[in-house]
Structure 1
Amino acid sequence: MALSNNIIGAINFVAMLLSIPIIGAGIWLATEPDNSCVKILQWPVIILGVLILLVALAGFIGGFWRIPWLLISYLIAMLVLIILLACLVVLVYMVTIRGSGHPAPSRAYLEYRLDDFSGWLRRRVRSSYKWDRIRSCLSSSSMCGELNQSYRMAQDFFNAHITPLQSGCCKPPTECGYTFVNPTYWISPINTAADMDCLQWSNEQTQLCYSCDSCKAGLLANLRTEWRRANIILIITLVALICVYLIGCCAFRNAKTEDLFRKYKQGYT
């Protein structure tokens, strides 16, 4: 029984370690400028990671100090958390399937359309109440100002691989036909009717294209890339947690069997 309990405790120590990548993925998302403005995924990931850490700690204590009720509570709670983590992994995968960029003529960067993304993601940015807060957060960042420092000539900018967020928020859509002055200052549109975003563009550095659908699409494209990277970590951790949980279940069952067999022998003698 003692050996099995020690094994259970060691297994739960591994589960505690597995919570670290989950918490780390959430913290990484929280430090990204776009995610810090939207705040959708990072807190569920961090909270889930912390809960897994606490539950695994309870299992660790229950294993080494031989507390059966704590081990049973651990098995139930960890199963619930594994199911929640699996649901989160599936949700992130489903909402990030769509959203690839479109090439623009004579441009190295891609441009993005809001309708290319999943309805669930679009609803996060479509309401004016939500977007006003996000837009204020984005406009206070230095992402557009950095373009002016990096690219002086038009051809250098057109050949640049800028982020989706910069492509959508810091310049007008290519189809509008604006003339390049610098990355955040464009004049003389050829076709303002090409897209509603053509009318939304402003050379005012606090406005730019932050009110454009292209900016919303660029934000979602950035989120999509970061979420998919975080989801890889979550998937790997989920598989490892499932393996650890199954091993823990087997060890707990063996411990109970040993205990029953020991009591049977004591009663027989």
Structure 2
Amino acid sequence: MFRLSNNLVGILNFVTFLLSIPIVWAGVWLNHHGASECEKFLTKPVIILGVFLMVVSLAGLIGACCRVSLLLWVYLLAMFLLIVILFCFTIFAFVVTNKGVGEVVSGKGYKEYRLGDYSNWLQKRVNSTKNWNKIKSCLQDSKVCKSLIDDGSNTTADEFYLEHLSAIQSGCCKPSNDCNFTYVSPTNWTPTGNTPYNNSDCNQWSSDPTTLCFNCQSCKAGLLDNIKHDWKKVAIVNIIFLVFLIIVYSIGCCAFRNNREDNAWKGHP
């Protein structure tokens, strides 16, 4: 009689195989129809993930249902490596996102962000000119400041100061509070004089919608704050996924033991 663990492994991997098909298709579609380099940037990771899931699920499906111990062993090895990688990434994500918090500004609804408040590892990633040029291009393509530009003509200074801006909007779409620029509109600020600024971001600011503060340290800090919160959410999801993977891995080990016992039994007259 076919054993329960083999059935469970077979069903789980059949579902995974079906899920891998749209993932691969999405990667191929992005590669041919991506409107920008930012969209195409996701192509390779998505395709690799889809192909990996497809191959591993096929190995598990055939290994469990057809009693092929070698394929089931390959499946278990891949699962073990995936568990180790996810565990390491989860710990790493908590460590590198442990530092950094927005600075509350008196009388303002938004916070301001300083690059030096975040982990050195994250700072090095965004301080790389090559990396930041790609990231900046993606931020500009995403039109993260568009809502401020569209609504800016009717927004008074008092109304703007009470706005709850996102970390990226606060860092990239307006000058730092240290600059003391005169407000014209949310993305249009006038320098008050030629006084040397304590904050180097003040010299980077431009009211040109394509420039704004995308070259500022505050923009990098705003991005890191966004990454910090996203990575923490991903890390929590990873913990749940790890528990699921460990359960599946345990069931797979039972199926592998069943295969070996059945093969040993068949080897006897």
TM-score, normalised with respect to structure 1: 0.80
2:167 corresponds in structure 1 to: 164
Cα distance in 2, alignment partners of residues 131 and 236 from structure 1: 32
Q: How does 1:68-87 map to 2 (within 5 A)?
A: 68-87=69-88
Amino acid across the alignment from 2:169:
Q
Change (3 A) 1:124 1:46: farther
| Secondary structure of 1:94 counterpart | helix
Matched, 1:249 2:250: no
Structure 1's 8 and 185: CA in aligned 2 closer, same or farther, altered over 3 A? closer
2:201 to 197, 215, 219: 197
Q: Report the number of matched residues.
A: 253
Instruction: Decide whether the 8 Å contact of 1:154 with 1:180 is kept in 2.
Output: yes
1:80 is aligned with what amino acid?
L
- Give the CA deviation at 1:228: 2.2
SS in 2 for 1:209: coil
CA distance 1:42–1:81, shift in 2 (3 Å):
farther
Native 8 Å contact 1:13 1:60 kept in 2:
yes
- Contact 1:176–1:192 under 8 Å retained in 2: no
Distance apart, 1:166 and its partner CA: 0.7
TM alignment of 1:15-30, pairs within 5 A: none
Q: Which aligned pairs between 1:23-42 and structure 2 lie closer than 5 A? A: 36=38
Q: Please report how far the alpha carbon of residue 133 of structure 1 lies from its aligned counterpart in structure 2 after TM superposition.
A: 3.1
Give aligned-pair identity as a percent: 45
2:189 aligned to 171, 174, 186, which one? 186
After TM superposition, list the pairs within 5 Å mapping 1:90-169 onto structure 2.
90-151=91-152, 152-169=155-172
Distance 1:163 1:200, change over 3 A: same
Partner letter of residue 75 of structure 1?
L
Deviation at residue 253 of structure 1 after TM alignment: 1.4
Q: 2: CA distance between counterparts of 1:18 and 1:234?
A: 18
The farther-off stretch of 250-259 and 72-81 is 250-259
For structure 1, the 5+ residue unaligned runs are 27-35
Residues 48 and 80 of structure 1, relative CA distance in 2, 3 Å threshold: farther
Q: Aligned-residue CA RMSD in angstroms?
A: 3.2
The Cα offsets for residues 188-244 of structure 1, whole Å up to 9 and x where unpaired, read as 337652311112211222221111100111111122222222332222112101111
User: How far apart in 1 are the matches of 2:139 and 2:8?
Assistant: 50
Which residue is 2:31 aligned to? none
- Looking at structure 1, the residues matched to 107 and 43 of structure 2 have their Cα atoms a distance apart, in angstroms, of 36
Residue 220 of structure 2 is matched in structure 1 by 216
Query: Alpha-carbon deviation of 1:89?
Result: 2.1
- The AA in structure 1 aligned to 2:206 is S
TM normalised by structure 2 equals 0.80
The one-letter code matched in structure 1 to 2:209 is Q
**CA–CA separation in structure 1 for the residues paired with 2:47 and 2:148:** 32
**Whole-Å Cα distance in 2 between the matches of residues 119 and 200 of structure 1?**
23
- 1:241 and 1:19 map into 2 onto residues whose CA distance is 17
Cα 1:122/1:104, change in 2 over 3 Å: same
Residue of structure 2 equivalent to 1:3: 3
